[in-house]
Structure 1
Amino acid sequence: MKEQFLLLLETHQGLIQKVCNMYCNTKQDQEDLFQDIVLQLWRAYPTFRGGAKVTTWMYRIALNTAITRLRKETQGEPFAELGPEAFQVPAVEEGSREERAAMYRAIRRLSQVDQALTLLYLEDCSYREMGEVLGISEANVGFKLNRIKAQLRTLMSIA
């Protein structure tokens, strides 16, 4: 069981790192959150039955761990801030570097759940997978994504 879990981590560590980059400002916070997520994955691994894709299961645990940690944070600088490094943007993407930076600034202004949904959308997850990860219906995913897109358009026009 341990070997299977370690192989799973090795194969999908990029997924965990993206969540850490999305919700953490500093390298230290990213490393701490990475460890927290791995611990939660290890605790949940014996109960994983394969009913969902392994990546869906991992995203759900990673995002829930990050959001829970965020909510526990006390006063001071916010734990969660989306930086440009949160998403690996393909070189073929259209738009200038400034436009991308403006988009990331707009995404940072979304709620934590909306940031998570945006991450899953940018990862080309299906509505079904997004719903499974976040515990909402496919219809609600579509509704939320439409609202997020409208919010981002507004935030981008203000910037």
Structure 2
Amino acid sequence: MNGDKHHDLFSELIAQHQSELYAYIFAIVRNWQDADDLFQDVCMVLWRKFETFRPGSSFFSWARQTAKLEVRNFLRRKKSSTYVNEQVLDVLAEMPIDARDDETKHYLAALRRCGKKLVSTDKQMLVFYYVENLGSRQIADRLDRPQSSVCNSLKRIHRWLLECVEKELKREEYLGGERND
């Protein structure tokens, strides 16, 4: 493929998938500035590695894998406990972005069922973190708790939700279909 066609194909694919890719990055880092910087970094890496992309395969899957690695490296450099842990990053990397996808619907339904099982203080902490977009220090201030306690609680809640969702999905698969609760 000549240089112009190579560049045109890359530009077309990035334009087609930029919102999904940006949403994936932002869902993990939950900070606009970090997401902007990471998105730019990911695009640069994708361009450098574009010759490894196989035309006809899923560009978004390929790009998401690259984004996952870049985000993981960013999180390691940042070493900030307010970000999602590595296990959650792996789950997010494997999840399709399109909420209309059946697999995602099952996952979200299982996550809702698990969320209903959380005690109210854990639910409140998740609301602070994901809905109000507060960091661990801000949550600690609101709850009058040490920041380390909030970080440990968030990690525990994430780990529990991950395990619960996996169990729910296995149970659903075992029962042979969707649940209606």
What range describes the TM-score normalised by the shorter chain of this pair?
Answer: 0.5 to 0.7
CA distance in 2, matches of 1:16, 1:6: 14
Higher helix share: 2
The answer on whether the counterparts of 1:15 and 1:59 sit within 8 Å (CA) in structure 2 is no
Q: Give the C-alpha shift of residue 152 in structure 1.
A: 5.6
CA distance in 1, matches of 2:67, 2:53: 14
User: Structure 1 residues 53, 125: CA separation in 2 closer, same or farther (over 3 Å shift)?
Assistant: farther
Unaligned runs of 5+ in 2: 1-5, 124-181
2:81 is the alignment partner of 1:117:
no
What TM-score, normalized to structure 1?
0.55
After superposition, residues 125-136 of structure 1 pair within 5 angstroms as none
After superposition, residues 9-158 of structure 1 pair within 5 angstroms as 9-50=14-55, 52-74=57-79, 76=80, 78-80=82-84, 111-120=88-97, 122=99, 124=101, 153-158=113-118
Q: Give the C-alpha shift of residue 149 in structure 1.
A: 6.6
The answer on whether the counterparts of 1:25 and 1:80 sit within 8 Å (CA) in structure 2 is no
Q: Give the C-alpha shift of residue 50 in structure 1.
A: 2.7
Could you list the per-position Cα deviations for residues 24-63 of structure 1 after superposition, in whole angstroms to 9, with x for gaps in the alignment?
A: 2221111111011101211210111236222221222222
The answer on whether the counterparts of 2:64 and 2:93 sit within 8 Å (CA) in structure 1 is no
User: Structure 1 residues 54, 16: CA separation in 2 closer, same or farther (over 3 Å shift)?
Assistant: same
- Name which one, 1 or 2, has greater alpha-carbon Rg: 2
What TM-score, normalized to structure 2?
0.49
2:6 is the alignment partner of 1:4:
no
CA distance in 2, matches of 1:36, 1:55: 16
Q: Give the C-alpha shift of residue 119 in structure 1.
A: 4.7
**Could you say what secondary structure the match of 2:82 adopts?**
coil
Q: Which protein has greater RCO, CA pairs closer than 8 Å, 6+ apart?
A: 1
Q: Give the C-alpha shift of residue 79 in structure 1.
A: 3.8
How many residues are aligned here?
Answer: 112
